Chains A and B, each alone.
Chain A
Amino acid sequence: MAKKRASGEPWVIPGGFSVLSLQFSSSSSSRHCLYVKEHKVRAEKSKHRPLDRTLFLVNIPPYCSQVVVKGLFSQFGDIESVELRDHPGSSQESRPTISKLFRPPEKQGFKVGYIVFKSSSSLQAVKSYPFDAPLVVSTEERPVKTGVQKWIQQYSESFIQPDRLQQKVDNFMQNYDKHKEEEAERKKKEAEKQQEEDEGWVKVTRGHKGAKARPHSEAANEKTLQKEKRKKKRKELLNFYTWQHRNTQKEHIAELRKKFEEDKQRIALLRAQRKFKPY
């Protein structure tokens, strides 16, 4: 059983998480628990989450958006960034150019979050926050829309002007084309590089421009293997030696036996299920 906690004290559970309580509005009668901890990973490569200033929190209810979380935690100190995700994990730098419209829709479930504070002292402030003083999500000053209000808002926000959309598409495609061109350029350069190394030697590699190389794909590999196999098979002699003939016959009988047993079992199974009782 949970130990009785003195009021006004933080609650730290085994595993190092501090528990904060959170309620939707001041009139709510029940509370969710937020579990927070300083962000600690053995090898954090990303610059987005500096180890000493990042707060890791789990179990953020679905109605808390990035803005709400920012609002809730700004009382502990200035916040640099808030990142909400479905699952904990290292931050990936996805291609920044994709607009929200072209991303698959987000899941509206419980989230985990990474809050980067401006100063590391804020972390301590959060962790020592008492359990029995709940954070309130929706207040008079910062009302949070849910339910019908939210859906109507979502609906009206889903409209996008065709020319703006077109603009986005054009931008993306320009980038894409540029990217493609660069890629082609790079390849060409590489090929040229291969052409002439110093002292006039030419290093011969696969993928020479102009020469038709075998496509480098799994399907092609598979195809070649199949071809080889077929070739082998064609050369094989079937039922040529007596032992081969005998083997084939043996296999045939074994096959029949197997089938017979299967049928027998099928019937037995049906009988067991009383499937022969007509009414």
Chain B
Amino acid sequence: MKKKKQSIEEMLVSDSSQNEDQPAVQAKRSKPEVPSEEVVYHPIKLSRNDLYRPPSAEELNQLKEAESLFHCSLLKMQMEELLKEVVLSDRRRQQIDSFIGKVTEHLQTVPTSPKVEVSDLSWLFGSVKVPFLLMPKATKGKFHMTPPASISLIGSYPLGTCIKPHIRVDLAVTIPAEVLQEKDFLNQRYPRKRALYLAGLALHLSSSSEVGTLRYSCLHGNRLRPVLLLTPPGKDSSSVTVRLHACPPPGFFKPNRFHPERNNVRTEWYTGVQTAQPESSDPPTPHYNSSVLGDLLPRAHLQFLSAVSSQCSAFSDGVALLKVWLHQRQLDQGTGCFGGFLASMLVAYLLTTHRVSNSMTAYQLLRNSLNFLASTDLTVNGISLAKDPDSSAPSLAEFHSAFQVVFVDPSGHLNMCSDMTACTYKQLQYEASLSMQFWDEPTIDGFHCLLMTPKPMIRTSDHVFQLCDLVKLQSTCKKQNLLNDLMDLSGNYVQAALPFILSLLQQGLGQRIHLLTHSLAPDPEWSVDSEAPKYKAQLPLSFGLLLKPELAASVLEKGPAADNPKAVEFRQLWGSRSELRRFQDGSITEAVLWKGESVCQKRLVPQQIVTYLLQLHADIPEASVRHVGGIDDVVKTGSEVPTTGEEESLAVVQAYDDLSRKLWNLEGLPLSITAVQGAHPALRYTQVFPPRPLKMDYTFFDKEKTSRSLIPKEGKPCPAYITPITVICHMEGSGKWPHDRLAIRHIRAAFHIRLAELLKTQHNYTCRACPSHLDVWKDGLAFRIQVAYHREPQVLRESVTPEGLLVVRDNEEAQQLEMATIHKPLLTSTLHGLQQEYSCFGAVCRLAKRWLASQLFGDDITEDTADLLVASLFLHPAPFTAPGSPQVGFLRFLHLLSSFEWRNNPLIVNLNNQLTAADYTEIKNGFMASRESLPVMFIATPKDTKSSMWTKRAPTVQMLQRVMTVAAESLKVLECQLMDGKQIQDVRVVMRPPLDAYDVLIHLNPKQVPLLSQAVDPPSVNFSRGVTAQGAAHSGGALPVIDYNPVFLYLSELRDAFGDLALFFCDPYGGTVIAVLWKPKAFAPAPFKTSQVSGRTVKVTGNEAATVPNVEAILEDFQVLGKDLVKSVEAKTDKWSF
């Protein structure tokens, strides 16, 4: 009863919070799928009695422990919770057990069929097909179906290391010995019989009602090892998958037959060509051998692991954690993966070699496993679980010569990592060492980074490309003469060509990358009544590059000197692109020069290299290589050389540096300048479209005679928008400054006039002094200088009470002044520094802000906030590394926006690394203590640990919720599109906001929108905007129209007039629509009050007068206020007519 009441109260609370002041954006658009709003952290209040009751000894111990191990114990508690989430419940186990029981029982009743030739499939009636690619077709031997010799559980389920959500139960079905023949290990005879046997089982099971769906798959993508997938019938069919493996009877084949240097697939049989060569010269078939051997050993492996597990109580939990870790890094599935089996074997290895002790906890097991992975290179120093291998077992060196990664099983004959590429292992190693790095970092939430954050390739790698036409790899095999590998891998040309391609790329990209990763081909799945899919039907192979930012974009590949013996090698690699070049230092060397003028073109150098090398050496045409990217298109400008703003930003910064120097050196100022600071995004490389130097066409404008200034002409299109770049100029403190706000304001105006005069006379700049600022027209750019006096905020805060007491009170005005003159310049210079450290910081900011603006969130997540959010991606990248390309940075920005838990966490941006771990704790505690009174989005920086000044004004809860929803959706769409080769790449999809959610749309006349050309979808026609094509203006000349944008002026008028009735949204970069959202609260009839009648009409009921908004008149006002700018006002809803 009580509980019920509480939940109702909660509902009420959440309801009313939505209706507060702002419109219920969230309620309207997002499904209430985010319950997080309801669960709120309240600082606990223990009663006095509870707090001060005498402690028991046990409690005292517990408390002391928690005190000394705080960081650790929290992590431990979190991991325990995680394990609860992933481990199977008893109820579930019972369900599965009963299903297995039924299946086993049913399998025993497989009818026996007469003995036939293997190629004779007449016994296999119905639509069931054999899960095998017959290449070549010819097979010897006889086959018949009989009931299995034994059926037993293997793998993770009986071991207890099976975890949710993809529960797979492995069931080994032993093929009776009479079905097999002694020589069946040769020439794929055994694998074919295995496939036939599975088909027989499938045929039998398909008639059963106990089984839901029947599908084929194959183990880790190995076509020699098909498996049959069963699901229970009915509604829980997706909860569990049973994999049927067919196995030979234990000990049927001798393990030494499968030595990695022996041949078991005859060339003669495989190619079908008779050769005179003796059998002994056939090449070894290590992969084939290990796949047959792998079928022989699973029971032994289970026994071994069970024995280990019974010794160590935390074994299964430790393995489960390791599996979660692997899953988040997409390393646990597909061909050549480091799956759950290997994870168990690794932990077992650590336990049996006494690197970890049996008494360790799951947490310690995970830590030690990662530490081992990080420090051991299995591509060079393989490890073996075999205690005392028999003499016939191969040595580690023999394994190394056959396989890239070596981890030998307890029998000593099987390399469990036979399919793994060296690249995959390097990736694993890299991930492990990265995890170890931030495990102990107290400022990082280790639990979250290690186990909770997924790391898909598209969000991890700086550059991603895909091989789309996998058929083309056949020609690679042909070109590189990889027949032996093809034979070994039973014709899997993708697997055969992959190591070659990887080593080629590694060689070509060399110093440019930290890491080369590739996607693991997922296990194919197909229904029992269709043929096994061909290799080319696989999903495209994806490759990811982790770039070294300082070298990746270099256009020159300098090789060895011409007479160096290595030059041949170099020439071979680069082919005709390699040419002899003479360098300034006098050396003459081989070199390759790639195309690229602007930064954004240089960023594509790795892409050029990849395409070129694949074409040259692997015969893969350019069209089959799909480079994922193109997001930065939306901030691209420049007609001749496309750029993404780096060059323009640099030009602006240089112009500013020049101006600043000139200001410092001005002679004749009454007080000296103490600081000149930039306070504009363009001066920290993060302006979405950095201002470009312009030259005005005077005939386009009217002229103001007295001040020699241009003025927009009525009837012409709105002139080009010239952004004023804010510069703060601090003046020396002096006794002469008055101690009065108005007087300071006047003195400042006098300074502006004086500066204008001096700049005009000493440097011939056109200036315009206003009381609040001074505009300087310099080399085609407009700078807005504001003189600041450091004591002014203090003066604004002081007031004298009637009693004559001097009181200091913080107020809005003082805060804003401090923001403009102190905090903004500081932020600008800090982020400017960040750009020097991370070259793509600015580009990511620009993309992020372009997205925010296009989704009409520009006023809620302000530019400064967005820059800080992006800065946090670079400063605290864990579990990733700092973004190395704009694209990956942008994707992570969207992920941050969509997944960060703002309700219960502060986002700490440790600029300049000034905060210590103790500061972090302090910030978090302070945040928790006063959560309710703090901004919804709380961002702490070293200079601002308590108040989150940048997000104080916006966003509101509702808008933040909306931003999160849209960000999540955008991320989903974008990643899907980028990774799916079949979709048309149009990244602009995520920049087109859904407009149907708004109540009124005000369509603007494109003629009067000065930034029209920056729109997401640039219009085909553009207007002349009074700018001449050639070059930048020189100093002097008339002052152009600065900071005149009708859209901004209109918006500010609208917000002034109707701010309490509606919200107005607009894309500042060339948006031609203003979206209006009524505030529901304003539409409820309100009693007539003189302070609340703006834009409202009155209704009289009896003796009471109530007001409601006069919507018709307001809509007309929209037209009137924006005359010539507004094209039409479109009311989409009739919400007011209730």
Contact = CB atoms under 8 A, between A and B. Distances in A.
Given A147-B1122, A250-B52, A261 B46 contact: yes
A172 B770 contact: no
Interface residues of A, number: 84
Interface in A1-31: 1-3, 13-15, 17, 19, 24, 28-31
B1021 interface: no
A88 B1091 contact: yes
B746 A217 contact: no
B552 interface: no
Interface string A152-188: 1011101111100110110011001000000000000
A142 interface: no
A263 B66 contact: yes
Given A112-B1090, A147-B1126, A152 B1116 contact: no
Interface in B663-719: 702, 704, 706-707, 709, 711-714, 718
A109 B1117 CA distance: 11
B1094 A109 contact: yes
Contacts of B1124: 147-149
A125 B427 CA distance: 88
A258 B52 CA distance: 11
Contact of B66 (A107, A166, A259): A259
Given A265-B44, A271-B81, A59 B1121 contact: no
Contact of B1116 (A24, A59, A271): A24
Contacts of A1: 1099, 1101
A52 B86 CA distance: 81
Interface stretch (B218-226, B831-839, B1045-1053, B1073-1081): B1045-1053
A30 B1110 CA distance: 9
Contacts of A15: 1088, 1105
A112 B1120 CA distance: 20
Given A19-B1098, A151-B1046, A217 B806 contact: yes
B1123 A149 contact: yes
B865 to A, nearest CB: 24
Nearest to B903: A273
Q: Which of B66, B451, B1096, B1123 has the most CB of A within 10 A?
A: B1123
B41 A32 contact: no
Nearest to A101: B771
Given A32-B1095, A160-B770, A263-B77, A108 B712 contact: no
Contacts of B452: 275-276, 278
Contact of B770 (A158, A173, A216, A275): A158
A271 B1093 CA distance: 48
Given A19-B1098, A263-B77, A33 B1110 contact: yes
A256 B60 CA distance: 9
Interface string B292-336: 000000000000000000000000000000001001100000000
B1033 interface: no
A156 B131 CA distance: 81
A115 interface: no
Given A176-B740, A263-B77, A257 B51 contact: yes
Interface string B1042-1061: 00101001101100111100
A195 to B, nearest CB: 20
Interface in A115-144: none
Nearest to A146: B1123
A161 B805 CA distance: 41
Contact of B746 (A173, A254, A258): A173
Interface in A238-277: 250, 253-254, 256-263, 265-267, 269-273, 275-277
Interface string B42-67: 01101000111001000010111011
A258 B46 contact: yes
Nearest to A217: B806
A278 B1116 contact: no
B449 to A, nearest CB: 12
Contact of A29 (B43, B324, B1112, B1117): B1112
Interface string A82-116: 00000110000001001001100001111010000
Nearest to B750: A169
B414 interface: no
Given A24-B1116, A108-B1053, A176-B738, A279 B66 contact: no
Contacts of A276: 78, 81-82, 84-85, 452
A210 interface: no
Nearest to B928: A262
A279 B328 CA distance: 8
A175 to B, nearest CB: 10
CB-based closest 7 A-B pairs: A147-B1123, A217-B806, A110-B1094, A30-B1112, A148-B1124, A254-B51, A256-B63
25 contacts: A13-B1088, A14-B1105, A30-B1116, A59-B1096, A61-B1117, A62-B1056, A62-B1117, A108-B1056, A110-B1094, A147-B1046, A151-B1046, A155-B711, A156-B702, A165-B770, A172-B742, A216-B804, A217-B805, A218-B807, A254-B51, A256-B67, A257-B46, A265-B41, A269-B904, A278-B85, A278-B328
Given A108-B1056, A275-B452, 12 more contacts: A14-B1103, A32-B1117, A152-B713, A159-B706, A165-B753, A165-B770, A168-B749, A254-B51, A256-B67, A261-B44, A276-B84, A278-B452
